[in-house]
Chain A
Amino acid sequence: EPEVTQTPSHQVTQMGQEVILRCVPISNHLYFYWYRQILGQKVEFLVSFYNNEISEKSEIFDDQFSVERPDGSNFTLKIRSTKLEDSAMYFCASRVRDRGVAGASNEQFFGPGTRLTVL
């Protein structure tokens, strides 16, 4: 069964360093997302991406964050200068098509997550 994959599973970095979290969405999916979950807290939406541009972003997704789909398979989240409070589990998700299409599923398939630890 197709699945969303994420690498690395755990990333440790020093405060102020740049990190890139990688995701490989399911191959025929068109919509891509990043969420994060700070330990013990809610899963929070960061950004959605469609047709090579950001379609929606949350207040969390400030100028330190960026997303990119550099090729036909990868979807990346970059944090330019990490802060201690960026420590969290980051989940990538993908969805096949627009919910506005008749019979479309809104199901987002989630990857296993990357645990980011900022020291």
Chain B
Amino acid sequence: GEDVEQSLFLSVREGDSSVINCTYTDSSSTYLYWYKQEPGAGLQLLTYIFSNMDMKQDQRLTVLLNKKDKHLSLRIADTQTGDSAIYFCAESPSSASKIIFGSGTRLSIRP
């Protein structure tokens, strides 16, 4: 079945890079997403990547996709306190329009 796995916690020092990793099982996934959820807020789409791409960069965000290993990562450069949130990896299988979410990685920033 479809499943998305990611580690639950990540702590980084302010100014360092954060790398959040994710693995998924559905090889037919067409879209792979990173969502951000701040406390008490909804889900904000940060970025997404098509399955035929290896990398996508958007300002401080870099997404890497290894389709062979079904591994997705999100790198946040120069991590700031405002980046504290839960980051959800998600995929959308090509045969359906629903989005399958991972459990979320809670990113905390230490001074």
Contacts of B92 in A (CB 8 A): 106
B36 CB to closest chain A CB, in angstroms?
11
Are the C-beta atoms of A106 and B97 separated by less than 8 Å?
yes
Interface size on A, residues (CB 8 A): 24
Are the C-beta atoms of B98 and A33 separated by less than 8 Å?
yes
Are the C-beta atoms of A56 and B98 separated by less than 8 Å?
yes
* A-B pair number, CB within 8 angstroms: 51
Contacts of B104 in A (CB 8 A): 42-43
Contacts of A43 in B (CB 8 A): 43, 88, 90, 101, 104
Question: Is A25 located at the chain interface by the 8 A CB criterion?
Answer: no
State in angstroms the CA–CA spacing of A91 and B43 once bound together. 9
* Chain B residue at minimal CB-CB distance from A107: B45
State in angstroms the CA–CA spacing of A55 and B97 once bound together. 9
Contact of A45 among B42, B43, B98 (CB under 8 A): B98
Contacts of A22 in B (CB 8 A): none
Contact of B42 among A33, A44, A113 (CB under 8 A): A113
State in angstroms the CA–CA spacing of A107 and B32 once bound together. 11
Question: Is B100 located at the chain interface by the 8 A CB criterion?
Answer: yes
* Chain B residue at minimal CB-CB distance from A110: B43
Q: List A79-107 residues whose CB lies under 8 Å from chain B.
A: 91, 95, 99, 106-107
